[in-house]
């Protein structure tokens, strides 16, 4: 038997909220899982608080007390993730008319340390993308795996997809004439993503050589058995090629997306265009990549200028 305590049973309205995130907002499995864990911890905490009648009857003083308990146990990032889940939960209950005001109104989490996103240089990206061909030439992998893995990374870098969007990608979403993919991202928001000539050529080659099924609703990325390639398989695959290229293992698929955005801006792309390509609702989310580009310029100036 497991020594782990059983998670508390969530109220019906909390379970409804999580279904809403998964089925209507199309949040990733990981995000829904994180929100569930945050709500379970909150529910468990409520059970230790005398005089409370459930999450929909709380006042701000209760949430401030909960924030103090979270801060004593977790770091700033985790605390803010829990608060983000609760804010979304109370916004949903407010919209459904179950409460008249959010008890989190006016409550802010601990200030986050600003960190610039990690990314790969253009040379590092080229080295990473060459990995499948290197393994194929050494007869370390089969042609199916080499082309499929190359396709994964070309789409990540060529289209700037989130890894969940890449896993969900079907042939019907790609217009092979224009080389543009129609992506359904966070909050069911659609956007158009040019994927580039190289990635498009990989799509066509893989489809003609290895796809068992390539109808509009069939997945682009599949296992050897023809099943949709999962997010986890994509993450593990990338680690293999990072190791082959001598690059850090903590560079997740999302860092390829960071590289995509940074390289666009470095080469003169308009910030609002990059915002649209990434599917960011707020321009401020995209602006962090301008900080990355400025930091690179300053570093280059420091290294190259005689009076820097």
HEC profile of 254-268: HHHHHHHHHHHHHCC
pLDDT beneath 50: ranges in the chain:
1-2, 4, 301, 308
Which of the following is catalytic: 89, 157, 260, 289?
Answer: 289
Instruction: Give domain status of residue 90, yes or no.
Output: yes
Which of the following is catalytic: 26, 258, 263, 280?
Answer: 280
Q: Give CA–CA dist 291/91, Å, rounded.
A: 32
Helix (H) or strand (E) holding 193: strand 190-194
Nearest one of 35, 34, 41 to 16, comparing CA atoms: 35
| Catalytic residue status for 25 | no
Instruction: Give domain status of residue 86, yes or no.
Output: yes
Pairing between β-strand 180-184 and β-strand 190-194 as defined by DSSP bridges: antiparallel
Q: What is the pLDDT of residue 82?
A: 94
| Catalytic residue status for 212 | no
Q: Do 129 and 91 lie in a common domain?
A: no
Which of the following is catalytic: 191, 233, 254, 296?
Answer: 254
Longest Cα separation, the chain: 69
| Catalytic residue status for 186 | yes
Note down the domain range covering 216: 122-304
Instruction: Give domain status of residue 7, yes or no.
Output: no
Q: What is the pLDDT of residue 110?
A: 83
214: which DSSP letter? Answer: -
Which of the following is catalytic: 186, 191, 233, 239?
Answer: 186
Q: What is the pLDDT of residue 187?
A: 67
Q: What is the pLDDT of residue 281?
A: 62
| Catalytic residue status for 280 | yes
Q: What is the pLDDT of residue 1?
A: 37
Q: Do 72 and 158 lie in a common domain?
A: no
Q: What is the pLDDT of residue 2?
A: 43
Phi/psi of residue 125, each to 5°? -60, -45
Q: Do 37 and 181 lie in a common domain?
A: no
| Catalytic residue status for 98 | no
SS (H, E, C) 275-298: HHHHCCCCHHHHHHHHHHHHHHHH
Chain segment 150-166, per-residue pLDDT in tens: 999 999 998 888 889 99
CB 29 within 8 A of CB 231: yes
DSSP for 122-175 reads: HHHHHHHHTHHHHHHHTTSS-HHHHHHHHHHHHHHHHH---HHHHHT-BGGGEE
Q: Do 81 and 134 lie in a common domain?
A: no
Q: What is the pLDDT of residue 295?
A: 54
Which of the following is catalytic: 255, 257, 258, 263?
Answer: 257
Instruction: Give domain status of residue 113, yes or no.
Output: no
| Catalytic residue status for 255 | no
Chain segment 271-307, per-residue pLDDT in tens: 777 777 776 666 565 656 565 555 555 565 466 555 5
Which of the following is catalytic: 36, 82, 148, 162?
Answer: 162
Q: Residue 60 belongs to a domain with what CATH number?
A: 1.10.150
Q: Do 38 and 154 lie in a common domain?
A: no
Instruction: Give domain status of residue 259, yes or no.
Output: yes
Q: Give CA–CA dist 128/259, Å, rounded.
A: 12
CB 170 within 8 A of CB 219: yes
Q: Do 179 and 275 lie in a common domain?
A: yes
Total number of domains constituting the chain: 2
Instruction: Give domain status of residue 5, yes or no.
Output: no
Q: Do 151 and 88 lie in a common domain?
A: no
Q: Do 64 and 201 lie in a common domain?
A: no
Q: Residue 136 belongs to a domain with what CATH number?
A: 1.10.443.10
């Amino acid at each position: 038997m497991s020594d782990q305590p059983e998670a508390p049973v969530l109220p019906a309205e909390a379970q409804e909220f999580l279904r809403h995130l998964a089925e209507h907002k199309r949040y990733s499995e990981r995000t829904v899982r994180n929100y569930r864990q945050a709500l379970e911890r909150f529910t468990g905490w409520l059970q230790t608080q005398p005089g409370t009648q459930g999450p929909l009857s709380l006042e701000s003083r209760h949430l401030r007390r909960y924030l103090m308990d979270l801060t004593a146990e977790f770091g700033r990032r985790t605390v803010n993730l829990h608060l983000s889940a609760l804010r979304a939960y109370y916004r949903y209950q407010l919209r459904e008319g179950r409460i008249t005001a959010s008890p989190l109104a006016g409550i802010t989490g601990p200030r986050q340390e600003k960190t610039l996103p990690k990314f790969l240089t253009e040379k590092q990206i080229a080295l990473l993308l060459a990995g499948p061909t290197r393994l194929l030439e050494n007869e370390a992998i089969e042609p199916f795996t080499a082309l499929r893995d190359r396709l994964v990374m070309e789409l990540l870098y060529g289209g700037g997809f989130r890894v969940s969007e890449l896993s969900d990608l079907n042939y019907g979403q790609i217009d092979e004439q224009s080389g543009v993919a129609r992506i359904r991202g966070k909050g069911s928001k659609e956007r158009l993503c040019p994927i580039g000539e190289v990635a498009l050529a990989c799509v066509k080659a893989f489809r003609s050589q290895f796809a068992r099924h390539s109808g509009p609703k069939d997945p682009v990325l599949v296992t050897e058995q023809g099943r949709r390639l999962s997010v986890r398989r994509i993450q593990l695959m990338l680690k293999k090629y990072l190791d082959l290229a001598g690059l850090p293992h903590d560079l997740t698929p999302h860092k390829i997306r960071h590289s995509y955005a940074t390289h666009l801006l470095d080469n003169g792309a308009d910030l609002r265009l990059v915002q649209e390509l990434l599917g960011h609702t707020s321009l401020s989310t995209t602006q962090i990549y301008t900080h990355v580009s400025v930091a690179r310029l300053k570093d280059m100036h420091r290294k190259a200028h005689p009076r820097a």
